[in-house]
Amino acid sequence: MSTVRPFRIDIPQAEIDDLRARLRNTRWAPSLPGADWERGVPTEYLREVAEYWATEFDWRAQETALNAFPQFVTEIEGLDVHVVHVRSPEPDAVPLLLTHGWPNSFVEFTRTIGPLTDPRAHGLDPAIAFDVVIPSVPGFAFSQAPRETGMTTATVARMWTTLMARLGYDRYGTQGGDLGAYIAPEMAVAAPEHVIGVHLDGGIGMPTAADVPAMSARDRAEWDEMQQWMTGGVDHHALLKAAPQSFAAGWNDSPVALLAWMLQKFQEFTPMAELAEDVIDRDHLLTNVALYWFTQTTGTSSWPMYDGLRDGGFAWPRDQNLVPTGVYGGGSPLMRTLADRGNKITHWPADNPGNHFVAMEEPTAHATDIRTFFAELR
């Protein structure tokens, strides 16, 4: 059970050919009235990206690039877990576990691996380097899906602490955004004696309705703006909590249905850009979409929604004051006040660039911020 086995991605050619045939044979839905993204992904834009996916996107090139990173599989709590594990050439590297988000995969971090593990090769101070561990969350990509309901972010965090011990690490940092922002602090709760610090992309200090009565007029205005932002777009939490099996039937059978869903969500996650691919390279986006297609994980990856993010329903990542916390996108004074109530905040920068998936959009800035936070904890 404790064996760590080498892993290599090798999608059969027949599956690649089948994907291209399905894309070519799409039965396109007619365009609905409305401008731009008012009714969802514009049909002409979707057709253009689908055509690119079928005729120009080179999966084999992306597969080769992914296989350049050492990958492994190991069984933890009855599930095979896929993990990218890249050791630094620097002798005093800090072990660092990165947890991806939804609807993302380990591909989220591929452009930050180099600056984190081999800073010397990227013109950075080699005194701050990391051994990087990037596991695929159960049900995502090449990690086995939960066999029963009841999987939680705390369970995954416990699995990750087992993984780090199995890889030989006693003291390490943890990092994540989106779904990863739930799992990273849970690792500190599970093993505070092993976790040196928690770095989050965001999702901390978020107010709730219970905080409203004590808010100032300025804070209440911010709360009202946040409500408009949080209720915009497609509520994937409600959708996937209610009927993930129904929606997965379409996403698992039609690559265009999957592509439309992914483009919709990444568009909503990049509010400061006109198009998601203006800030995230199209091939990077399609590599992530293709992984969901080839591994058939659009349904299995939805467990955070139907099992609930903590306590059976949606809630923001829980606080932990056991180890220091740093945040890439600190947020407003209101959020800092709320974050300080239950966390040891030691890093809260302002004006870091990027939208939601900053490791994909701003890999250099993301790696720099991680380096800055953990440099204070060595």
Query: Mind listing the pLDDT tens digit for each residue in 79-138?
Result: 999 999 999 999 999 999 999 999 999 999 999 999 999 999 999 999 999 999 999 999
Exposed (0-12), middle (13-18) or buried (19+): which is 250, by Cβ within 10 Å? Answer: middle
Which pTM does this prediction carry? 0.95
* 8 A C-beta contact, residue 215 and residue 223: yes
The yes-or-no answer on residue 306 being catalytic is yes
Distance CA 129, CA 126 (A): 6
The share of the chain scoring above pLDDT 90, in percent, equals 83
DSSP summary character for residue 313: S
Rg of the chain, C-alpha, whole Å: 20
The count of other CB atoms within 10 Å of the CB of residue 293 is: 25
With cut-offs at 50, 70 and 90, classify the pLDDT of residue 222.
Answer: confident
List all residues 6 or more positions away from 201 whose beta carbon is below 8 Å from its beta carbon: 176, 177, 178, 180, 181, 327, 328, 329, 356, 358, 359, 366
* 8 A C-beta contact, residue 106 and residue 141: yes
Please tell me the predicted confidence (pLDDT) of residue 147.
95
pLDDT in tens, 273-316: 999 999 999 999 999 999 999 999 999 999 999 987 765 567 88
Please tell me the predicted confidence (pLDDT) of residue 7.
98
pLDDT in tens, 12-21: 999 999 999 9
With cut-offs at 50, 70 and 90, classify the pLDDT of residue 378.
Answer: confident
Bigger pLDDT: 226 vs 342: 342
Distance CA 103, CA 112 (A): 18
List all residues 6 or more positions away from 38 whose beta carbon is below 8 Å from its beta carbon: none
Q: Is the pLDDT of residue 144 over 80?
A: yes
Task: Name the active-site residue from 45, 52, 169, 306.
Answer: 306
Task: Name the active-site residue from 100, 118, 172, 178.
Answer: 178
Exposed (0-12), middle (13-18) or buried (19+): which is 125, by Cβ within 10 Å? Answer: exposed
Q: Is the pLDDT of residue 5 over 60?
A: yes
**Where does the chain have alpha helices with state H?**
13-24, 43-55, 59-67, 113-117, 153-166, 179-190, 217-230, 236-242, 244-253, 255-268, 282-295, 303-306, 333-342, 358-361, 363-375
With cut-offs at 50, 70 and 90, classify the pLDDT of residue 231.
Answer: low
Distance CA 116, CA 76 (A): 26
* 8 A C-beta contact, residue 202 and residue 328: yes
Compute the half-sphere exposure of residue 26: CA atoms within 13 Å on the CB side of its CA. Answer: 25
With cut-offs at 50, 70 and 90, classify the pLDDT of residue 203.
Answer: confident
Task: Name the active-site residue from 194, 199, 236, 356.
Answer: 356
- Cα distances from 250 to residues 206, 234, 293, 297, in angstroms, run 34, 17, 11, 12
Question: In order of start, what are the domains of the chain with their CATH numbers?
Answer: 4-375 (3.40.50.1820)
pLDDT in tens, 240-283: 999 999 999 999 999 999 999 999 999 999 999 999 999 999 99
The yes-or-no answer on residue 178 being catalytic is yes
Distance CA 207, CA 226 (A): 9
Please tell me the predicted confidence (pLDDT) of residue 194.
98
Please tell me the predicted confidence (pLDDT) of residue 143.
98
Q: What is the mean pLDDT of the chain?
A: 94
**Residue whose C-alpha is closest to residue 116's, from 378, 361, 377, 372:** 372
Q: Is the pLDDT of residue 2 over 80?
A: no
Please tell me the predicted confidence (pLDDT) of residue 313.
64
With cut-offs at 50, 70 and 90, classify the pLDDT of residue 163.
Answer: very high
Q: Is the pLDDT of residue 68 over 60?
A: yes
List all residues 6 or more positions away from 78 whose beta carbon is below 8 Å from its beta carbon: 147
95 pairs with which residues across the strands?
131
Stretch 321-335: mean pLDDT: 93
